[in-house]
Amino acid sequence: MGCSIGVENCIYAGTIGPFVRLGADVGFITCAHVVGFLNKTVVQPADGDSYETGRACGTVLDVQFDPGKPVDAALIKVNNRDVAPTDFTWLNPNEVLNAGFDLTKPPSFLGGSVRMITDFSEVQGKRVIKCGKATGLTKGSLALNGTMIKIEDCYLPFPEGITWNELNGVVMKNQYQVENNRYPFSTFGDSGAGVYLVENEHNNLSLIGINIGLLNNYSIVTPIGFVLESLRLQPEDVIADN
């Protein structure tokens, strides 16, 4: 999780999010605006990050862009790749420390859980982390629930049949806001990264959403319940063991 991905022959990149079981297969979640179209080949790293061959890692299985839900999510089936579904990509030691972890016990989703937040007051202000292709491992604080944003700018492809002119008036409702903590929580290229609540002093992680974009000094996160429902997945489909 946290690696660079993109559609084949496209310079723009996003991030591998949580891994999920698809029957006997394995897939991962990212943003719809990262991959855009059904049946496209996904490469890792993205074309803009590498010119090496043999980078195909999966196929776009499902794309859901629906502000009414509201979701910006896609499901990628992994092809011909071994995965470590509870591990984050290589972590810079300084990032591990800045995110509040010990170098002897870096963050891992092994033994983690999926959390549908029902009472936001219980988690407001608590530490969350994400691992993204652009900014690596970062921490922030859950600031607001029910955020509404209007899409003003986007450089990545959207699902087939949706044009940028149509998106000028798109409003995404019921999102989380994550406040920066010393460093930016996310930036361009981090779309699709899973966002995890740090539950306790043992640094146990709960998946609460995926990062979809920026709003001033905040990152915008879609609640994981919306994402899973739109992709016809269940919480138990999210892989938290090896």
pLDDT at residue 150 in the model: 67
- The contacts of residue 29 (CB under 8 Å, 6+ apart) are 17, 18, 20, 73, 74, 75, 76, 192, 194, 210, 227, 231
Q: Which residues pair with 141 in a beta bridge?
A: 127, 179
Average pLDDT over residues 188-194: 95
pLDDT per position as a tens digit, 46-71:
998 887 877 899 999 999 887 777 89
pLDDT at residue 182 in the model: 82
> Are 16 and 146 contacting, i.e. CB atoms less than 8 angstroms apart?
no
> Are 112 and 158 contacting, i.e. CB atoms less than 8 angstroms apart?
no
Give the global pTM. Answer: 0.92
- The contacts of residue 185 (CB under 8 Å, 6+ apart) are 130, 135, 138, 139, 140, 178, 179, 211, 218, 219
pLDDT at residue 181 in the model: 86
Q: Which pLDDT band holds residue 215 (cuts at 50, 70, 90)?
A: confident
pLDDT at residue 39 in the model: 85
Residue 225 CA to residue 70 CA, distance in Å, equals: 10
Query: b vs e for 194-212, b when ≥16 Cβ sit within 10 Å of the residue's Cβ?
Result: bbbbbbeeebbbbbbbbbb
* Cα separation values, 46 from 11, 41, 129, 148, Å: 7, 11, 23, 30
Domain ranges of the chain: 4-237
Q: Which of 85-89, 105-109, 180-184, 206-210 has the lowest mean pLDDT?
A: 180-184
pLDDT at residue 69 in the model: 79
> Are 80 and 35 contacting, i.e. CB atoms less than 8 angstroms apart?
no
CATH of domain 4-237: 2.40.10.10
